[in-house]
Amino acid sequence: MRRRNFDLRDFVLGHYQYFIVGILFIILVVVLAVFSSKHKKDKEEPEETEPAQTVEVSEDTAVSDQNAEIPLTTEGLQVDAYPEVNSLVNTYFMAMASGDVATLESICSMLDDAAKIRIIERAKYTESYDDIRCYTKPGPVAGSYIVFAYYQIKFQNIDTKAPGLSSLYVCSNADGSLYVYNGDLPENVSTYIRGVAAQDDVVALLNQVDAEYNAAAEQDKTLKAFMDALPAKLDEAVAAQLASGQPIDTTQPAAPAETPEVLVKTTDAVRIRSSADDSSDSNIIAKSAAGDTFTRIEEENGWSKIKYKDTTAYIRSDFLTTADNPEPAADDGGGEGDGTPTVTVTKTDVNVRSKAGTDGDVLGKASSGSKFTLKGESGEWYEIDFNGQSGFIRNDMASKN
């Protein structure tokens, strides 16, 4: 008996909360070994038009009797014990992060259109998979592995990484190479996998990741809100693409150019948010008046990521303009006329830093001719009043008046 489209929720015992709150992170990919060289020879050759990089899998499995019970392993989880498994898993997650369907097809047996669309859409929100670790147990056949791949996923415009765990069943091809198989799963193999998932050390790992994920979600409400909304967004994207009948674009988008830090100012009163999302007011952390200045770190999809106090925040880019020549802050009556010392910038695009040293954060840039109130001196640095806060510029980049 075969089970079609083996689902993670059939694999994981239902009472594990982690797999409820974190179901998006869990991707079960089942890998079956190809049968044997003899059976390979008996299999009909593929059409010449079939892409050469796609993994080919026999309809047979390496389990000769699909009804026979497979003895459950008694070995404990091993961490990063097989370099070849780690290499495959890292390739897999790098491709998932970038939406590289071609690479995934080269290491997976098949991807249907819905899976391809979901991968591409998810990658639009994904920055990277970090801190990958492979927890491994022997699979049901020789040369196979059940891998619980731990990672920290970094989403675009969300500071907190989310812990995740993917379960993969990895087997060896006839030439010793590894690949992933996401086709049908025999009943005795699925029973074996469920048995492994219920073992104490695996349950402990699931509970550990569960706790880490809950802590991350509790710490960062933006992450939790994003995770709550993302499944529906992906479902909508898949349904819309399939309904359109248009071919799936699997080409890799060009990497966006890095946005240099630049001083910007608001053109009107505007809300400052903890995430790049204006669908609700829950992420509003402050309001800015027209003319307030900030350092923009990056810009994407109509939002500017700015430095705000000791963290980062977001403002709609259409409410910002560059502040190439920031005016010195008001001096409460002080200035050149009453003997208050000032400095004039003599170089182009001089960095204004948060402290006297090149290791200080860049608060913004000052153009040649800009004047600032001098607050003090520290070695080779002038301390100036830079938009209401202390900033520092090298004394060979400005002249004291």
- On whether both 204 and 345 belong to a single domain, the answer is no
250 is a domain residue: no
- On whether both 38 and 131 belong to a single domain, the answer is yes
- On whether both 128 and 205 belong to a single domain, the answer is yes
Neighbouring residues of 341: CB distance < 8 A, sequence distance ≥ 6:
373, 374, 400, 401
pTM: 0.55
- On whether both 170 and 301 belong to a single domain, the answer is no
Instruction: Determine phi and psi for 208, rounding to 5 degrees.
Output: -65, -45
CA distances to 9, 12, 20, 72, 170 from 15, rounded to whole Å, are: 11, 8, 9, 22, 26
User: Which residues constitute the domain of residue 385?
Assistant: 337-400
Q: Domain total for the chain?
A: 3
Q: How many CA atoms lie within 13 A of 270 on its CB side?
A: 23
Neighbouring residues of 288: CB distance < 8 A, sequence distance ≥ 6:
266, 269, 270, 271, 272, 294, 315
- On whether both 155 and 289 belong to a single domain, the answer is no
252 is a domain residue: no
253 is a domain residue: no
Mean pLDDT of the chain: 76
> For the segment 312-326, what is each residue's pLDDT rounded down to a tens digit?
889 988 888 877 544
Most confident of 52-61, 64-73, 131-140, 348-357: 131-140
Q: What is the pLDDT of residue 349?
A: 74
Most confident of 20-34, 177-191, 235-249, 386-400: 235-249
Question: β-pairing, 185-186 with 178-180?
Answer: unpaired
331 is a domain residue: no
Q: Residue 7 pLDDT more than 60?
A: no
Give the CATH number, domain containing residue 281: 2.30.30.40
Select from 127, 311, 125 the least CA-distant residue to 220.
311
Q: Whole-angstrom Cα distance, residue 175 to residue 34?
A: 10
- On whether both 129 and 193 belong to a single domain, the answer is yes
- On whether both 317 and 342 belong to a single domain, the answer is no
- On whether both 239 and 110 belong to a single domain, the answer is yes
